[in-house]
Amino acid sequence: MMINLNPVLLHLGSLEIRWYGLILFLMFVLGIFIAVKLAKARNIKKDDILDFFPWLIISSILMARIFHIFVYNFSYYQEHPELMYQIWKGGIAIHGAVIGAVIAAFFYCRKRKIAFYDMADIFVIPLSFGVIFGRIGNLINQELYGKPTTLPWGITFSSIPGKRHPSQIYESLTHAITFSILLFMYKLKNLPKGVIFWSFITLYSFFRFITEYFRESTTTLFNLTTPQLMSIVLFFLGSYFLVKLMKPKNL
Protein backbone atom coordinates (compact mmCIF):
# COMPACT_ATOMS: atom_id res chain seq x y z
CA MET A 1 0.00 0.00 0.00
CA MET A 2 1.36 3.39 -1.00
CA ILE A 3 0.48 6.52 1.01
CA ASN A 4 0.86 9.59 -1.17
CA LEU A 5 -1.97 11.83 0.04
CA ASN A 6 -1.43 15.57 -0.03
CA PRO A 7 -1.52 16.74 3.62
CA VAL A 8 -2.87 20.11 2.41
CA LEU A 9 -6.63 20.02 1.89
CA LEU A 10 -6.86 23.42 0.19
CA HIS A 11 -5.24 26.84 -0.04
CA LEU A 12 -6.98 30.10 0.84
CA GLY A 13 -4.51 32.59 -0.52
CA SER A 14 -1.32 32.08 1.47
CA LEU A 15 -3.21 30.11 4.16
CA GLU A 16 -2.99 26.31 4.12
CA ILE A 17 -5.90 24.25 5.36
CA ARG A 18 -4.50 20.82 6.21
CA TRP A 19 -6.28 17.54 6.73
CA TYR A 20 -4.63 17.31 10.15
CA GLY A 21 -6.03 20.68 11.20
CA LEU A 22 -9.51 19.76 9.93
CA ILE A 23 -9.40 16.45 11.82
CA LEU A 24 -8.26 18.27 14.99
CA PHE A 25 -11.17 20.70 14.65
CA LEU A 26 -13.70 17.91 14.10
CA MET A 27 -12.28 16.02 17.09
CA PHE A 28 -13.15 18.94 19.37
CA VAL A 29 -16.61 19.43 17.82
CA LEU A 30 -17.48 15.74 18.26
CA GLY A 31 -15.89 15.85 21.71
CA ILE A 32 -18.29 18.59 22.77
CA PHE A 33 -21.28 16.59 21.49
CA ILE A 34 -20.19 13.39 23.27
CA ALA A 35 -19.33 15.19 26.52
CA VAL A 36 -22.69 16.98 26.65
CA LYS A 37 -24.50 13.66 26.18
CA LEU A 38 -22.48 11.93 28.89
CA ALA A 39 -22.71 14.82 31.37
CA LYS A 40 -26.40 14.20 32.02
CA ALA A 41 -25.62 11.02 33.96
CA ARG A 42 -23.31 12.97 36.29
CA ASN A 43 -25.76 15.86 36.75
CA ILE A 44 -23.38 18.33 35.15
CA LYS A 45 -25.06 21.18 33.31
CA LYS A 46 -24.62 21.63 29.58
CA ASP A 47 -23.34 25.18 30.18
CA ASP A 48 -20.62 23.85 32.51
CA ILE A 49 -19.42 21.53 29.74
CA LEU A 50 -19.51 24.22 27.06
CA ASP A 51 -17.75 26.77 29.30
CA PHE A 52 -15.04 24.24 30.09
CA PHE A 53 -14.06 23.65 26.47
CA PRO A 54 -12.06 26.89 25.97
CA TRP A 55 -10.04 25.97 29.07
CA LEU A 56 -9.58 22.45 27.75
CA ILE A 57 -8.61 23.42 24.21
CA ILE A 58 -6.05 26.03 25.23
CA SER A 59 -4.44 24.00 28.01
CA SER A 60 -4.37 20.62 26.24
CA ILE A 61 -3.09 21.91 22.90
CA LEU A 62 -0.48 24.11 24.58
CA MET A 63 0.87 21.29 26.76
CA ALA A 64 0.65 18.80 23.86
CA ARG A 65 2.76 21.09 21.71
CA ILE A 66 5.25 21.80 24.52
CA PHE A 67 5.73 18.07 25.08
CA HIS A 68 6.16 17.42 21.36
CA ILE A 69 8.82 20.12 21.08
CA PHE A 70 10.74 19.96 24.36
CA VAL A 71 10.36 16.30 25.37
CA TYR A 72 10.34 14.41 22.07
CA ASN A 73 11.93 16.61 19.39
CA PHE A 74 13.96 19.33 21.09
CA SER A 75 17.08 18.92 18.95
CA TYR A 76 15.02 19.23 15.75
CA TYR A 77 13.27 22.42 16.86
CA GLN A 78 16.56 23.90 18.03
CA GLU A 79 17.61 23.76 14.39
CA HIS A 80 14.20 24.91 13.11
CA PRO A 81 12.75 27.27 15.76
CA GLU A 82 10.52 28.95 13.17
CA LEU A 83 8.46 25.72 13.01
CA MET A 84 7.58 25.67 16.71
CA TYR A 85 4.27 27.50 16.30
CA GLN A 86 3.18 25.69 13.10
CA ILE A 87 0.96 23.20 14.90
CA TRP A 88 -1.34 22.78 11.89
CA LYS A 89 1.44 20.80 10.22
CA GLY A 90 1.26 18.17 12.95
CA GLY A 91 3.16 17.59 16.12
CA ILE A 92 1.24 17.21 19.38
CA ALA A 93 1.95 14.68 22.12
CA ILE A 94 -0.97 12.98 23.81
CA HIS A 95 0.92 12.69 27.12
CA GLY A 96 1.13 16.48 27.16
CA ALA A 97 -2.51 16.83 26.07
CA VAL A 98 -3.69 14.68 28.98
CA ILE A 99 -1.59 16.64 31.48
CA GLY A 100 -2.90 19.91 30.06
CA ALA A 101 -6.49 18.64 30.26
CA VAL A 102 -6.02 17.53 33.88
CA ILE A 103 -4.60 20.93 34.85
CA ALA A 104 -7.50 22.73 33.15
CA ALA A 105 -10.09 20.41 34.73
CA PHE A 106 -8.58 20.79 38.20
CA PHE A 107 -8.78 24.59 38.24
CA TYR A 108 -12.10 24.76 36.39
CA CYS A 109 -13.75 22.26 38.74
CA ARG A 110 -12.54 24.19 41.76
CA LYS A 111 -13.97 27.39 40.29
CA ARG A 112 -17.36 25.83 39.44
CA LYS A 113 -17.46 23.53 42.49
CA ILE A 114 -17.71 20.39 40.37
CA ALA A 115 -16.22 17.06 41.46
CA PHE A 116 -12.99 16.56 39.51
CA TYR A 117 -13.63 12.87 38.83
CA ASP A 118 -17.09 13.64 37.43
CA MET A 119 -15.49 15.86 34.79
CA ALA A 120 -12.47 13.59 34.23
CA ASP A 121 -14.58 10.45 33.74
CA ILE A 122 -16.57 12.25 31.07
CA PHE A 123 -13.78 13.77 29.02
CA VAL A 124 -11.47 10.78 28.67
CA ILE A 125 -14.19 9.11 26.58
CA PRO A 126 -14.30 11.71 23.77
CA LEU A 127 -10.52 12.01 24.09
CA SER A 128 -10.02 8.33 23.30
CA PHE A 129 -12.55 8.66 20.48
CA GLY A 130 -10.79 11.69 19.01
CA VAL A 131 -7.35 10.08 18.95
CA ILE A 132 -8.73 7.31 16.73
CA PHE A 133 -8.97 9.89 13.96
CA GLY A 134 -6.00 11.97 15.11
CA ARG A 135 -3.72 9.06 14.24
CA ILE A 136 -5.30 8.95 10.77
CA GLY A 137 -4.22 12.59 10.49
CA ASN A 138 -0.68 11.51 11.37
CA LEU A 139 -0.90 8.90 8.61
CA ILE A 140 -1.92 11.52 6.04
CA ASN A 141 0.90 13.78 7.26
CA GLN A 142 3.33 10.86 6.81
CA GLU A 143 4.60 11.29 10.36
CA LEU A 144 5.01 8.99 13.38
CA TYR A 145 5.67 6.23 10.87
CA GLY A 146 6.64 2.70 11.80
CA LYS A 147 9.80 0.67 11.59
CA PRO A 148 10.74 -1.19 8.40
CA THR A 149 8.79 -4.40 7.83
CA THR A 150 8.29 -7.15 5.25
CA LEU A 151 4.77 -7.94 6.41
CA PRO A 152 2.08 -7.85 3.68
CA TRP A 153 0.18 -4.98 5.35
CA GLY A 154 3.26 -2.76 5.44
CA ILE A 155 2.91 0.77 4.04
CA THR A 156 5.17 2.66 1.67
CA PHE A 157 5.25 6.43 2.12
CA SER A 158 6.19 8.74 -0.71
CA SER A 159 8.59 10.71 1.50
CA ILE A 160 10.11 7.84 3.50
CA PRO A 161 12.21 4.98 2.09
CA GLY A 162 11.22 1.37 2.60
CA LYS A 163 8.09 -0.51 3.59
CA ARG A 164 6.89 0.47 7.08
CA HIS A 165 4.65 -0.79 9.87
CA PRO A 166 1.39 1.23 9.79
CA SER A 167 1.99 2.27 13.42
CA GLN A 168 -0.56 5.08 13.12
CA ILE A 169 -3.25 2.52 12.29
CA TYR A 170 -2.10 0.26 15.13
CA GLU A 171 -2.55 3.13 17.59
CA SER A 172 -5.87 4.12 16.05
CA LEU A 173 -7.16 0.58 16.62
CA THR A 174 -5.98 0.52 20.24
CA HIS A 175 -7.86 3.75 20.90
CA ALA A 176 -10.97 2.27 19.31
CA ILE A 177 -10.67 -0.59 21.81
CA THR A 178 -10.09 1.86 24.68
CA PHE A 179 -13.08 4.00 23.66
CA SER A 180 -15.34 0.94 23.53
CA ILE A 181 -14.22 -0.23 26.97
CA LEU A 182 -14.66 3.20 28.56
CA LEU A 183 -18.10 3.69 27.02
CA PHE A 184 -19.17 0.27 28.33
CA MET A 185 -17.86 1.16 31.80
CA TYR A 186 -19.74 4.46 31.76
CA LYS A 187 -23.02 2.56 31.38
CA LEU A 188 -22.32 0.44 34.46
CA LYS A 189 -24.15 1.38 37.64
CA ASN A 190 -22.45 2.00 40.99
CA LEU A 191 -18.99 2.29 39.44
CA PRO A 192 -16.82 4.43 41.74
CA LYS A 193 -16.03 7.89 40.44
CA GLY A 194 -12.55 8.14 38.95
CA VAL A 195 -12.40 4.53 37.77
CA ILE A 196 -13.07 5.49 34.15
CA PHE A 197 -10.40 8.21 34.23
CA TRP A 198 -7.72 5.93 35.68
CA SER A 199 -8.80 3.10 33.39
CA PHE A 200 -8.07 5.38 30.44
CA ILE A 201 -4.62 6.23 31.86
CA THR A 202 -3.85 2.54 32.43
CA LEU A 203 -5.16 1.33 29.07
CA TYR A 204 -3.47 4.09 27.11
CA SER A 205 -0.14 3.46 28.84
CA PHE A 206 -0.37 -0.28 28.23
CA PHE A 207 -1.21 0.05 24.53
CA ARG A 208 1.29 2.88 23.95
CA PHE A 209 4.11 0.83 25.47
CA ILE A 210 3.38 -1.99 23.02
CA THR A 211 2.82 0.12 19.87
CA GLU A 212 6.08 1.99 20.49
CA TYR A 213 7.91 -1.18 19.49
CA PHE A 214 6.52 -0.73 15.98
CA ARG A 215 7.18 3.00 15.67
CA GLU A 216 10.43 4.50 14.38
CA SER A 217 11.65 6.11 17.60
CA THR A 218 14.90 6.82 19.38
CA THR A 219 15.57 4.67 22.43
CA THR A 220 17.00 6.11 25.62
CA LEU A 221 17.21 4.40 29.01
CA PHE A 222 17.10 0.56 29.14
CA ASN A 223 16.68 0.52 25.34
CA LEU A 224 13.20 2.01 25.76
CA THR A 225 11.77 5.13 24.14
CA THR A 226 10.77 8.20 26.13
CA PRO A 227 7.02 7.47 25.65
CA GLN A 228 7.59 3.92 26.91
CA LEU A 229 9.32 5.19 30.05
CA MET A 230 6.46 7.62 30.66
CA SER A 231 3.93 4.86 29.98
CA ILE A 232 5.50 2.62 32.63
CA VAL A 233 5.13 5.36 35.25
CA LEU A 234 1.54 6.15 34.22
CA PHE A 235 0.57 2.48 34.05
CA PHE A 236 1.58 1.83 37.64
CA LEU A 237 0.09 5.13 38.78
CA GLY A 238 -3.21 4.27 37.08
CA SER A 239 -3.16 0.73 38.46
CA TYR A 240 -2.55 2.03 41.98
CA PHE A 241 -5.55 4.37 41.88
CA LEU A 242 -7.77 1.74 40.28
CA VAL A 243 -7.04 -0.68 43.12
CA LYS A 244 -7.58 2.10 45.65
CA LEU A 245 -10.90 3.21 44.16
CA MET A 246 -12.25 -0.32 43.67
CA LYS A 247 -11.28 -1.49 47.15
CA PRO A 248 -14.36 -2.14 49.30
CA LYS A 249 -14.91 0.66 51.82
CA ASN A 250 -15.20 -1.71 54.77
CA LEU A 251 -11.74 -3.23 54.26
Tell me how crowded residue 53 is: count the other CB atoms within 10 A of its CB: 17
**Separation between Cα atoms, residue 251 and residue 249, nearest integer Å:** 6
Chain length of the chain: 251
- pLDDT recorded at residue 195: 96
pLDDT tens column, 88-123: 665 677 788 888 999 999 999 999 999 999 999 999
List of the chain residues with pLDDT < 50 = 250-251
First to last CA, the chain: 56
pTM higher than 0.75, yes or no? yes
- pLDDT recorded at residue 116: 93
- pLDDT recorded at residue 251: 46
- pLDDT recorded at residue 119: 92
- pLDDT recorded at residue 11: 73
- pLDDT recorded at residue 42: 81
Query: Apex CA 20: angle with CA 220 and CA 93, to 5°?
Result: 25
Per DSSP, the residues of 155-185 read EEETTS-SEE--HHHHHHHHHHHHHHHHHHH
**What H or E segment, with its residue span, contains residue 17?**
strand 15-18
- pLDDT recorded at residue 1: 65
- pLDDT recorded at residue 249: 65
* Buried residues in 74-93 as b, exposed as e (16+ CB within 10 A): eeebeeeeeebeebbebbbb
Residue type, 136: I
Average pLDDT score, the chain: 86
> CA nearest 130: which of 18, 9, 19, 28?
28
